[in-house]
Structure 1
């Protein structure tokens, strides 16, 4: 798991993160949500080490990442997979070469073993026949899946996704959400997603952190979010009439579950 302990980050006189504490659990999809300027992007960059925090600690499986030297951080980073918002594929490389890139950088073994691992990852994201193609020859959704294959090729313990559904149509977005969820459970990965996509929130959010002006405003699951009384969260998530109607329908569905009735009566 990944644990944040009272992390703070400032740029000059402007404090962006104001003492955030949270736990990202393994085998779950952990979401960071919030409007622009809420601090969610800065928080993710701090977690992966692209930015240093001013104070507080970030722990990877109880190891203090913030206190490590460059060599020690490199060891942790070899356990991290990253799916970038724009996929960030190398245009001059084939799909196979893009997925093999982390193996060439950090992996060991001969070329045959590397190619076997690449093919396993491409098979897992249903891109078996795309190995020889270049990024310009495949769709946006396929590029995302190549990005996912590259992110898991080193068998990471931690997977970070920055707006994985950005620029995708609704149907493809659902497929990407499902794939990330399946991989998270299958490999017991600690997955952290920075997203604005409400479908991702409602369908994949095992654990959700809502950031508001640098503070963790709300924390809970996608089941708990539909019963939240936090007005700032509700204004952000259920901004449209359509989403408010969807919320009421989800509440009615969940209220059929006796265990949720008991929780509501107890005020949990």
Structure 2
């Protein structure tokens, strides 16, 4: 489990996060939503240590991550998988080499063990046999799946995903959501997703946090969100005609 307590983050005179607290449980998809500038990506970066909170605590399984030294954080960081918005694959490496990259950094596994793990991860994301392709030879959806394969190569306890459906068509977005959901439940991973995709919210949002102006304005599940009486949340979630139609059916 991950717990964040009273997180503040200030850049100069700009207070981006203002006292956010939440709990993220294993085996669930935790979605952070909000408009541009609401602080959702900053919050994600504070949780994983890419930003240091100005105030507050981040706890991984009860351990205070914010008070640890760089060396003390290593065991937790090796238990973290990340999927970045643009997949962040190395263009000069093959699919196989991209997946093996964290294994080379953080494990003493043999070459054959690394290859076995890479093949397992590729098969898990339905890319069996694509080992020797380069990122330039992949579609956007395939790149996302390779990114997921690399993120789970270290068998993480925690998975952080930034805008997984950015740039993807609706059908491919659904497939990526389903894959994230399957992996989360199958391996009981604590998954935190930053997204603006309302199909993802309605599809896999076990636990949703809505940020507005750097504060947590609402928290609940995808079953609860349609019944919210918070105008800002409703305006954000049901902005499209499709989502308005979806709400009318509930």
* TM-score using structure 1 length: 0.92
Aligned residue in 1 for 2:39: 39
Aligned residue in 1 for 2:128: 128
Residue 79 of structure 1 pairs with residue 82 of structure 2: no
Q: Quick check: which has more Rg, 1 or 2?
A: 1
Aligned residue in 2 for 1:194: 194
Give the whole-Å Cα distance in 1 for the aligned partners of 2:169 and 2:107: 34
Aligned residue in 2 for 1:107: 107
Give the whole-Å Cα distance in 1 for the aligned partners of 2:77 and 2:248: 42
Give the whole-Å Cα distance in 1 for the aligned partners of 2:175 and 2:133: 21
**Deviant stretches of 4+, over 4 Å:** none
The DSSP-based 3-state class of the residue aligned with 2:129 is helix
Residue 19 of structure 1 pairs with residue 22 of structure 2: no
Q: Deviation at 1:38?
A: 0.3
Q: Deviations over 1:55-112 (max 9, x none)?
A: 1111001100000011111111000000010011111111000000010010121100
Q: Deviation at 1:231?
A: 1.0
Aligned residue in 1 for 2:29: 29
Q: Deviation at 1:242?
A: 3.0
Aligned residue in 2 for 1:119: 119
Q: Deviations over 1:26-59 (max 9, x none)?
A: 1000000000010111100000000101111110
Aligned residue in 2 for 1:65: 65
Give the whole-Å Cα distance in 1 for the aligned partners of 2:243 and 2:204: 16
The DSSP-based 3-state class of the residue aligned with 1:128 is coil
Give the helix-richer structure, 1 or 2. Answer: 1
- What runs of 5+ residues in structure 1 fail to find an aligned partner? 252-268
Give the whole-Å Cα distance in 2 for the aligned partners of 1:245 and 1:58: 39
Aligned residue in 1 for 2:6: 6
Q: Deviation at 1:240?
A: 2.7
The DSSP-based 3-state class of the residue aligned with 1:129 is coil
Q: Deviation at 1:227?
A: 1.0
Give the whole-Å Cα distance in 2 for the aligned partners of 1:97 and 1:113: 13
Residue 164 of structure 1 pairs with residue 164 of structure 2: yes
The DSSP-based 3-state class of the residue aligned with 1:132 is coil
Give the whole-Å Cα distance in 2 for the aligned partners of 1:70 and 1:240: 44
Q: Deviation at 1:12?
A: 1.2
Q: Deviation at 1:241?
A: 3.2
The DSSP-based 3-state class of the residue aligned with 1:4 is strand
Residue 206 of structure 1 pairs with residue 200 of structure 2: no
How many pairs align?
250
Residue 141 of structure 1 pairs with residue 141 of structure 2: yes
* TM-score using structure 2 length: 0.99
Q: Deviation at 1:244?
A: 1.4
Give the whole-Å Cα distance in 2 for the aligned partners of 1:120 and 1:231: 46
RMSD across aligned positions (CA): 0.7
Give the whole-Å Cα distance in 1 for the aligned partners of 2:129 and 2:191: 27
Give the whole-Å Cα distance in 2 for the aligned partners of 1:221 and 1:170: 22
